[in-house]
């Protein structure tokens, strides 16, 4: 069956590999939640499927279940009540290790076929996944459908493509012949085996459990490593659904379903440290805060670790020939999902003397006010604001936003908003502050959430220098620059290369610095403290397997 899956999806895999080489646009998973694409009843079926899980036990095929656990609460104001099987690691991990040899020996094509079928079935459940992501992360539904379902599927496929191509470069057999002059040549038959590292651990994040989780999940699985999925306690359901689909396909293909297993925990009784230090765990994928990422790096030396931690993203504004487009683009970027994205801008560097624009010279205070008015106008319509802002995932983010409001001059206050459909939703508008560049102790650290600073500098050169220094010290995933002169863009580009940060130039229309497209954009670089890996490149997949050879004299 696994070979049938490979044949079924081979064209998709080949297209994915080709697109990673060209870096242009392509996706096999439509991102528009349309009935014309997914079926007229798809939205209703997905909604009903999501609701069917509420206040129920979530069944999975894995050994060692000793308890039930689950305390998810939707940021839109209601308890999910889903109860998940909690395993005994002393039973689960040996069972997963016992399942590894058959999965390893099946070969790259068989594993790729299974992984591709998992993605295909997840795509059919995209509306259900969208609801699950919405009500665990707080994303608006359209964003949850796209980022949490279809774009996450893109990222999973991208990882499979890189991994399959890397494994395919290893020939299964070769005959080695070395001439010996007058003597008979030396002749050896060699066999090469792709060998997985061992058990992999995926540590989920609360804001983007699938988008950030699928690359590591599928990169590990397709290279032969069984995967323990440890979701964030606040966002279990999207990854539980993923594990369920994976187990279903694995069983149909003749493998032990617990090659992918769920290991949920609670805030009161976390298990991540215990699990991450188990000697059976040889690969770890982590997205989350810097402190715990640093702890993993220090204490989990037995495992190959891939991290995406925190960073401070910068915008450098020197000049623009499209002020309206600049303001609109930044307003959208700061408002999208209430700033709860690792790519959201935080520090907006502006020369205190102002900038040149197509509408005349604009002072720093005037530009800050224009951005504030852009946000206010963007969020004036309640329905649009609800979909764009989503809900605040954690109460900690609300407290953090209130704390940040004391750090500078408030240009735009963060305010609660009533949601048109969920009366208890945690909805907040962005907070925009103005500070002097010298007040770096206020802004030169990550303020996760709907929090942004307009930083008044002496010059654009100082803006670039401060952005570079911040990225080198604290990390950054994205930079954005607005400048008319090519020389300024070039200086910023050189600084971005030195700091290892992806740079976007003069975004004024429908592309935003927050967005990262699979098969084309490299998300994070691994070249600054924000992350030690990139989603996705060869380095992200190649160290998840080793090559072991056998050689013998040719007959």
**Among candidates 155, 212, 499, which has minimal Cα distance to 341?**
212
Element (H, E) at 260: strand 260-262
> For helices 382-389 and 323-335, what crossing angle results, to 10°?
60
Element (H, E) at 141: helix 141-145
Verify that 282 and 333 share a domain, yes or no.
no
| pLDDT for residue 136 | 98
Q: What is the dihedral of CA 152, 156, 158, 162, to 10 degrees?
A: 160
Q: What is the dihedral of CA 241, 246, 247, 252, to 10 degrees?
A: 130
* Residue 221 within a domain: yes
* Structure letter (DSSP) for residue 88: P
* Residue 167 within a domain: yes
Distance CA 385, CA 398 (A): 18
Distance CA 278, CA 93 (A): 9
Specify the pairing of strand 431-436 against strand 260-262. unpaired
| pLDDT for residue 40 | 94
Verify that 81 and 112 share a domain, yes or no.
yes
Distance CA 44, CA 49 (A): 8
Dihedral sign for Cα atoms in the order 397, 313, 453, 210:
negative
Q: What is the CATH number of the domain that holds 89?
A: 3.40.605.10
DSSP for 419-469, please give it: -SS-TT---BPPEEEEEETT-HHHHSS---SSEEEEEEES-HHHHHHHHHH
CB neighbour list of residue 264: distance below 8 Å, 6 or more residues apart: 69, 70, 84, 85, 86, 230, 231, 233, 236, 240
End-to-end distance of the chain based on CA atoms, in angstroms? 35
Q: What strands lie across the sheet with 545-553, from one edge to the other? A: 173-180, 183-196, 545-553
* Residue 514 within a domain: no
- Print the domain residue range for 328: 314-505
Verify that 282 and 150 share a domain, yes or no.
yes
* Residue 414 within a domain: yes
Distance CA 148, CA 518 (A): 13
Element (H, E) at 548: strand 545-553
Preceding omega of 520 cis (within 30 degrees of 0): no
Q: Find out whether 500 and 528 touch, Cβ atoms under 8 Å.
A: yes
Please give the structure tokens belonging to residue 374. 């852009």
Distance CA 359, CA 305 (A): 50
* Residue 522 within a domain: no
Verify that 242 and 381 share a domain, yes or no.
no
Verify that 358 and 499 share a domain, yes or no.
yes
Element (H, E) at 276: helix 272-276
**Per-residue pLDDT tens digits of the chain, which is 555 residues long:** 778 999 999 999 999 999 999 999 999 999 999 999 999 999 999 999 999 999 999 999 999 999 999 999 999 999 999 999 999 999 999 999 999 999 999 999 999 999 999 999 999 999 999 999 999 999 999 999 999 999 999 999 999 999 999 999 999 999 999 999 999 999 999 999 999 999 999 999 999 999 999 999 999 999 999 999 999 999 999 999 999 999 999 999 999 999 999 999 999 999 999 999 999 999 999 999 999 999 999 999 999 999 999 899 999 999 999 999 999 999 999 999 999 999 999 999 999 999 999 999 999 999 999 999 999 999 999 999 999 999 999 999 999 999 999 999 999 999 999 999 999 999 999 999 999 999 999 999 999 999 999 999 999 999 999 999 999 999 999 999 999 999 999 999 999 999 999 999 999 999 999 999 999 999 999 999 999 999 999 999 999 999 999 999 998
Preceding omega of 92 cis (within 30 degrees of 0): no
Element (H, E) at 478: strand 478-482
Verify that 152 and 261 share a domain, yes or no.
yes
Q: What is the CATH number of the domain that holds 405?
A: 3.40.309.10
Helices and strands of the chain, counted as H and E runs:
20, 17
Verify that 325 and 462 share a domain, yes or no.
yes
Distance CA 212, CA 216 (A): 8
Verify that 484 and 415 share a domain, yes or no.
yes
* Residue 91 within a domain: yes
Distance CA 67, CA 83 (A): 9
DSSP for 20-74, please give it: HHH-----SS--S--HHHH-TTHHHHHHHHHHHHTTSB-----S-EEEEE---B-
Distance CA 114, CA 59 (A): 21
What is the CB neighbour count within 10 angstroms for residue 549?
10
Distance CA 536, CA 40 (A): 34
Q: Find out whether 219 and 541 touch, Cβ atoms under 8 Å.
A: yes
* Beta-bridge mates of residue 548: 193
* Residue 160 within a domain: yes
Residue with tokens 């991540």: 272
Q: Find out whether 103 and 231 touch, Cβ atoms under 8 Å.
A: no
| pLDDT for residue 555 | 81
Verify that 199 and 241 share a domain, yes or no.
yes
Q: Find out whether 435 and 455 touch, Cβ atoms under 8 Å.
A: yes
Distance CA 168, CA 541 (A): 13
Verify that 142 and 198 share a domain, yes or no.
yes
* Beta-bridge mates of residue 175: 189
Verify that 126 and 46 share a domain, yes or no.
yes
Verify that 272 and 195 share a domain, yes or no.
yes
DSSP for 66-106, please give it: EEEE---B-TTS-B---BEEEEPHHHHHHHHHHHHHHHHHT
Specify the pairing of strand 451-457 against strand 304-308. unpaired
If 0-12 CB within 10 Å is exposed, 13-18 middle and 19+ buried, where does residue 227 land?
A: buried
* Residue 524 within a domain: no
As a 3-state breakdown, the chain gives helix, strand, coil percent values, each rounded to 5, of 45, 20, 35
Report the domain count for the chain. 2
Distance CA 529, CA 551 (A): 43
Distance CA 223, CA 166 (A): 10
């Amino acid at each position: 069956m696994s070979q049938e899956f490979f044949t079924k999806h081979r064209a998709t895999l080949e297209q994915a590999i080709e697109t990673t080489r060209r870096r242009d646009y392509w996706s096999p998973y439509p991102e528009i939640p349309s009935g014309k694409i997914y079926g007229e009843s798809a939205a209703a079926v997905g909604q009903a499927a999501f609701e069917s899980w509420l206040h129920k036990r979530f069944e999975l095929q894995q050994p060692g279940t000793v308890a039930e656990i689950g305390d998810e609460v939707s940021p839109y104001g209601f308890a999910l009540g889903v109860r998940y099987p909690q395993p005994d690691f002393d039973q689960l991990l040996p069972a997963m290790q016992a399942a590894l040899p058959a999965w390893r020996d099946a070969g790259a094509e068989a594993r790729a076929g299974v992984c591709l079928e998992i993605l295909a079935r997840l795509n059919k459940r995209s509306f259900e996944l969208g609801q699950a992501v919405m009500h665990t992360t707080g994303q608006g539904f359209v964003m949850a459908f796209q980022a949490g379902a279809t774009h996450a599927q893109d990222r999973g496929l991208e990882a499979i493509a890189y991994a399959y191509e890397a494994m395919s470069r290893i020939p299964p057999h070769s005959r080695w012949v070395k001439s010996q002059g007058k003597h008979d040549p030396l002749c050896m038959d060699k066999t090469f085996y792709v060998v997985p590292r061992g058990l992999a651990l995926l540590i989920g994040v609360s804001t983007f459990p699938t988008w950030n989780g699928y690359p590591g999940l599928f990169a590990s699985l397709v290279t032969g490593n069984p995967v323990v999925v440890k979701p964030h306690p606040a966002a279990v359901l999207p990854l539980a659904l993923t594990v369920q689909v994976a187990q279903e396909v694995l069983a149909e293909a003749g493998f032990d379903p617990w090659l992918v297993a769920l290991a949920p925990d609670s805030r009161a009784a976390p298990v991540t440290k215990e699990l991450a230090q188990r000697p059976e765990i040889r690969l770890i994928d982590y997205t989350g805060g810097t402190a715990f990422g640093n702890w993993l790096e220090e204490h989990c030396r037995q495992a190959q670790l891939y991290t995406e931690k925190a960073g401070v993203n910068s915008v450098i504004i020197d000049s623009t020939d499209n002020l309206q487009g600049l303001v609109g683009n930044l307003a959208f970027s700061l408002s999208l999902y209430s700033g709860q994205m690792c790519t959201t801008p935080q520090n907006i560097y502006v020369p205190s003397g102002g900038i040149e624009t197509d509408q005349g010279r604009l002072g720093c205070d005037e530009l800050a006010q224009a951005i504030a008015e852009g946000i206010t106008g963007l969020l004036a319509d309640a329905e649009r604001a609800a979909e764009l802002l989503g809900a605040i995932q954690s109460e900690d983010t609300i407290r953090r936003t209130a704390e940040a409001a004391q750090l500078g001059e408030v240009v735009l206050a963060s305010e609660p908003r009533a949601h048109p459909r969920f009366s208890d939703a945690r909805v907040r508008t962005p907070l925009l502050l103005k500070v002097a560049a010298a007040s770096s102790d206020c802004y030169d650290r990550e303020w996760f959430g709907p929090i942004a600073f307009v930083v008044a500098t002496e010059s654009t050169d100082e803006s670039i220098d401060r952005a570079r220094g911040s990225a080198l010290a604290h990390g950054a995933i994205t930079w954005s620059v607005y400048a008319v002169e090519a020389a300024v863009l070039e200086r910023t580009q050189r600084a971005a290369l030195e700091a290892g940060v992806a740079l976007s130039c003069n975004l004024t229309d429908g592309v935003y610095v927050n967005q990262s497209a699979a098969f084309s954009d490299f998300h994070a670089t691994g070249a600054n403290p924000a992350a030690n890996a990139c989603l996705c490149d060869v380095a992200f997949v190649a160290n998840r397997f080793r090559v072991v050879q056998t050689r013998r004299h040719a007959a």
